[in-house]
Structure 1
Amino acid sequence: MTDQRTEQLHSLTINRSDASEGSGGPGWAALVIAIVLAGGAGAGAAWFLMPRPEAAPATQAERPVAAQTAQTETASPASPAPAARPAPSSGLVASGYVVARRQATVSAEITGRIRDVLIEEGAVVEEGEVLAYLDDDRAQIDLDLFEAQEAASNERARALAAQLAEARTVLERTERLIDSGYATDSRRTAEQAQVDSLRAQLSAARADLAAAQVRVRSQRDYVDRHVVRAPFGGVVIAKNAQVGEILSPVSAGGGFTRTGIATLVDMESLELEVDVNEGQIQRVRAGQQVEAILDAYPDWRIPARVEAIIPTADRARATIRVRVALGERDARILPDMAARVTFLDDN
């Protein structure tokens, strides 16, 4: 058994002497080199035919952008340059607001319920134009009563005047009869008393008539006060009441009573009020030229002048108020607009 296994192992061994004799030496080496070269050539061909990422389009895309940039830079000098703002003037600068010298909240002189309102915000009204009506039914009834009393007093005075004229005629006739001896003095005395009584009654009737006429005028004025009119010409900037509300010239508790129909501004009286630091007020004088700029229109320079310096100072803010009259009237200038003014120094 052992000899059999030894023979099998011996059959599996390689006879190195035989291999070296049959290989032929250099021929085997050439074959190995050829195989290596063939493998390298195949790998090179595979690498050459392998697809690559397209980097060229990115380079091509960059060229038009560069060309477009160059074209834009070339065209830029031909485009118009933006308008430059005027250089600011030198001098003391202060800030303030547009205010109206004539501004009023228009109300009625009596208390009443609003029957009609004829204006809206932005309406232009003339002096004396009707803005609203109050309910005047009760006032009209009283006016009719006073006019009737006036008419009655007038008729009574006319009747007494006629009676007095007749009594004077009778008295004159009696005096002629007395001169002819056909009447006595007692008759003349009675008729004279009648004339005097009628004269007194006529005077009282005429006084009553005058009083009735005064009552009528007063009531007519009261009726007219139910009509709210504009005290001056201007623009309505606020409508403060509606139909059906109670209007009163004085404030009432509870907040259910309106104290004004509308707020009216005279646009011709607009001016500027600015606060100047009291340490710089010596640089401001009446009549001094001023240049005003509204915050809403920073490129618009409005010529103006100092109208007055208010002779009092604000203790908390250490400022003095200065009134500035505008040299231009324009619809763009509105009340309460913020403004900045420059007090121009004398050259």
Structure 2
Amino acid sequence: MGNLNDTAPVIDQLRIDRTQQSPRPRSHRTWWIAGIALVAAGGAAAGFTWMKQEAQPTKLTAAAPAPAAAPAAAGRLPDAALEASGYVVANRQATVAAKIIGRLETVQFEEGQHVKAGQVLATLDDTNAVAALKQAQAQLELARLSLKGKEAQWEISKRLLERQKELLASGWVSRNAVDNIAASAEAQFNEAMVARGQLAVSAASVNAAQRVVDDTVVRAPFDGVVTVKAAQPGEIISPSSGGGGFTRTGICTLVDMGSLEVNVDVSENFINRITEGQSATITLNAYRDWQIPAEVIAVVPTADRNKATVGVRLALKEKDPRVLPQMGVNVRFLSMPATGGIAGAATGGIRLAVRGQGAGGRAVGTATAR
């Protein structure tokens, strides 16, 4: 028992005292939160200041008169007044077709081939047409023989009438006999005239049949290049309308490459900047580094209300085989020189600095007072 009492103080020293807890170290999280709040407050203040400046109305401030424009350097193009996109089109092209319906017999062209005016492009089956021509020729020959017979009979009746008139003068025949011969001669004359008319009708029938035979041969209407081959031998060609998957209305598309021009659509808000004869430069989408000089042919005198645009036609001043129909182009209409007055910087006009906000953000530019 005495030993147990001696070890009690040692056991008490080994016991953990839970009444006393060590103080927790102070966290740095508070400092991070305070820093982030300060940065957010600074950003919000800067954004509010920028939006306040942008909300201001557009202002026009008069600037000093612009100096006279220096002459353009050699090879430098004038400034662009307007830009638009469009396509190369052929002013002269045709869908070549036969004038009659028939089965396509031969095709004598290929896509990309150059053809001359009057060159044979295709032929139709002419079996029926040739048969009709031969029939008309036979009827013409029959009418010619009939006319010869009628004319011969009338010639005999005319001579007989002259003989009867001589006998009547001598008293050998009666007036009644002479009148009968005269009536017969007149009838023979009328029959000869009818035969002559029938001969003219037969000749016209031969001419019409010959034209049908000629129409079985399709020829090029002008010099050009075949861009589309639309039919093959054995198909039925109908000039009026297609009658199914095996009936074609056209044989090919022929384009006169010398008639190529550019058509663009310009917004009606800027059409007042385009005038006939105005210079322009054209850039093909296929050749970005090649600028082709052009000139405005005409402004189409009608607007497209669906697109709010007006068509403009331009002529290419340089012909090149690289320019092909339906190519996409970008057109730069060049500014027209000032003709007088105070309009324009070259005449000492006042330039106004414009500052405002458009649909896409801030916009700063200059405009000339007119």
- How do residues 72-111 of structure 1 correspond to structure 2 at under 5 angstroms? 90-111=80-101
Cα distance, 1:204 vs structure 2: 1.1
Q: Which residue of 2 aligns with 1:175?
A: 165
Q: What is the CA–CA distance in structure 2 between the aligned matches of 1:323 and 1:273, rounded to whole Å?
A: 5
Q: What is the CA–CA distance in structure 1 between the aligned matches of 2:154 and 2:243, rounded to whole Å?
A: 59
Q: Which residue of 2 aligns with 1:137?
A: 127
SS in structure 2 at match of 1:251: coil
Given that 2:90 and 2:325 are in contact with CA atoms closer than 8 Å, whether structure 1 keeps it comes out as yes
Cα distance, 1:200 vs structure 2: 1.1
Moved more, 129-138 or 306-315: 306-315
Q: What is the CA–CA distance in structure 2 between the aligned matches of 1:255 and 1:239, rounded to whole Å?
A: 16
The question of 1:260 aligning with 2:250 is answered yes
Cα distance, 1:291 vs structure 2: 0.9
Cα distance, 1:104 vs structure 2: 1.1
SS in structure 1 at match of 2:117: coil
Q: Which residue of 1 aligns with 2:259?
A: 269
SS in structure 2 at match of 1:334: coil
Q: From 131, 144, 147, give the equivalent of 2:137.
A: 147
SS in structure 2 at match of 1:141: helix
Q: What is the CA–CA distance in structure 2 between the aligned matches of 1:203 and 1:283, rounded to whole Å?
A: 73
SS in structure 2 at match of 1:98: strand
SS in structure 2 at match of 1:263: strand
The question of 1:322 aligning with 2:312 is answered yes
Instruction: State the identity %.
Output: 47
SS in structure 1 at match of 2:242: coil
Q: What is the CA–CA distance in structure 2 between the aligned matches of 1:86 and 1:112, rounded to whole Å?
A: 59
Cα distance, 1:317 vs structure 2: 2.5
Q: Which residue of 1 aligns with 2:10?
A: none
What letter is aligned with 2:104? I
Cα distance, 1:332 vs structure 2: 1.2
Q: What is the CA–CA distance in structure 2 between the aligned matches of 1:250 and 1:174, rounded to whole Å?
A: 64
* CA separation of 1:122 and 1:88: change in aligned 2, threshold 3 A: farther
Q: Which residue of 2 aligns with 1:223?
A: 213
Unmatched segments (≥5 aa) in structure 2: 1-74, 338-370
Q: What is the CA–CA distance in structure 2 between the aligned matches of 1:222 and 1:237, rounded to whole Å?
A: 28
What letter is aligned with 2:178? R
The question of 1:279 aligning with 2:281 is answered no
Q: What is the CA–CA distance in structure 2 between the aligned matches of 1:188 and 1:253, rounded to whole Å?
A: 68
Q: What is the CA–CA distance in structure 2 between the aligned matches of 1:322 and 1:185, rounded to whole Å?
A: 89
Q: Which residue of 1 aligns with 2:110?
A: 120
Structure number with the higher helix fraction is 1
Q: What is the CA–CA distance in structure 2 between the aligned matches of 1:87 and 1:145, rounded to whole Å?
A: 71
Cα distance, 1:150 vs structure 2: 0.8
Given that 2:79 and 2:335 are in contact with CA atoms closer than 8 Å, whether structure 1 keeps it comes out as no
Q: What is the CA–CA distance in structure 2 between the aligned matches of 1:317 and 1:221, rounded to whole Å?
A: 48
Structure number with the higher strand fraction is 2
Q: What is the CA–CA distance in structure 1 between the aligned matches of 2:196 and 2:269, rounded to whole Å?
A: 73
Q: What is the CA–CA distance in structure 2 between the aligned matches of 1:115 and 1:253, rounded to whole Å?
A: 18
Q: What is the CA–CA distance in structure 2 between the aligned matches of 1:89 and 1:296, rounded to whole Å?
A: 23
Q: What is the CA–CA distance in structure 1 between the aligned matches of 2:105 and 2:225, rounded to whole Å?
A: 22
SS in structure 2 at match of 1:122: coil
What count of residue pairs does the alignment treat as equivalent?
Answer: 263
Q: What is the CA–CA distance in structure 2 between the aligned matches of 1:339 and 1:244, rounded to whole Å?
A: 40
Q: What is the CA–CA distance in structure 2 between the aligned matches of 1:134 and 1:253, rounded to whole Å?
A: 17
What letter is aligned with 1:164? W
What letter is aligned with 1:101? N
Runs (4+) of structure 1 moved beyond 4 Å? Answer: 85-89
What's the TM-score, normalizing by structure 1? Answer: 0.72
SS in structure 1 at match of 2:89: strand
Larger Rg belongs to: 1
Q: Which residue of 1 aligns with 2:176?
A: 186
Q: From 292, 307, 322, give the equivalent of 1:302.
A: 292
Q: Which residue of 1 aligns with 2:361?
A: none
Residue by residue over 1:55-79, the C-alpha shift from the partner in whole angstroms, topping out at 9 and shown as x without a partner, is xxxxxxxxxxxxxxxxxxxxxxxxx
The question of 1:338 aligning with 2:328 is answered yes
Cα distance, 1:89 vs structure 2: 5.1
Q: What is the CA–CA distance in structure 2 between the aligned matches of 1:249 and 1:295, rounded to whole Å?
A: 37
What's the TM-score, normalizing by structure 2? Answer: 0.68
Q: From 160, 166, 182, give the equivalent of 2:150.
A: 160
SS in structure 1 at match of 2:233: coil
Residue by residue over 1:279-312, the C-alpha shift from the partner in whole angstroms, topping out at 9 and shown as x without a partner, is 2211111110111111122222111111111122
What letter is aligned with 2:193? S
Q: Provide the alpha-carbon RMSD of the alignment.
A: 1.8
Cα distance, 1:123 vs structure 2: 1.5
Cα distance, 1:87 vs structure 2: 8.0
Q: Which residue of 2 aligns with 1:53?
A: none
